Chain A
Amino acid sequence: MNLSLQRRGFGRFALASVLLVGAVMTGMKPAHAADEAPDALVKRLSTDVLETIKADTSIKSGDVQKIMVLVDSKIMPNVNFQRMTASAVGPAWRQATPDQKTRLQNEFKTLLVRSYAGALDQVSDQSVIVRPFRGSADDKEVLIRTEVRGQGDPVQLDYRLEKTPGDGAGWKVYNINVLGVWLVDTYRSQFAEEINSKGIEGLIAALVARNKTNGARR
């Protein structure tokens, strides 16, 4: 109890200091990024992204290019997207060539951004509450649980993060849970179906085709 209070206190302190540093040196990376606790990172990142969406009407209306800029500048630096893609692809990932791996990541990212772009006009007065962190400070992988609160029932949004080896590399997200459903896991069987019938190239082709249809509609 006492410990978790301390941790929460520390989280708040870390958040405040990060915000302060961020405000003072806009555009510069905080010098002590490695010291930021994973729950503080999630809080900072989700609040930042949410505020950016709220403030930008073209993002809210689903402007994919602007959303992609937001994703690349704010979200991707804190995500191990290679691990996410590899995990969704499964054992076949090891047989993929470096070129195939790059294309898989690009198409998977486009698929996710395009699909969720249409939902952003739902953003209005929501705020993110990070639930008390249950892990320990020297864990290599942690689960951070949050709630998005707005009108109606709160939405459960959880993150799995891994500690990047080395100093200053910080934490990176490698899976997201929306309302009890893990994103990566939900793609695993679908990807396996494509790979089993048409191989890695077949999966890439299916992703390209889906992205093309989604792109044509918007």
Chain B
Amino acid sequence: MNTGLTSFSNPGDIGPLYPFAGLEVPLVIIGVALWILFHVIATRDENREWEEADAAFDASILLPGSDEPPHMRG
């Protein structure tokens, strides 16, 4: 069992150094899927975050003399 190279004795004959050479296409497909999944999750989570923040809005921060949001006051 080996995942790629078993000898470095003839470096001039070596091409790819990484394991599982030949499976680059499936690797790229997995990578692209993970990238798209990131955008989906990040967008969904952020939308939820802003909805919650919108609902939790406290108008007292707009009063004169209030310099920061309530959640930052400790």
Please indicate whether A and B come from the same complex rather than being unrelated chains: no
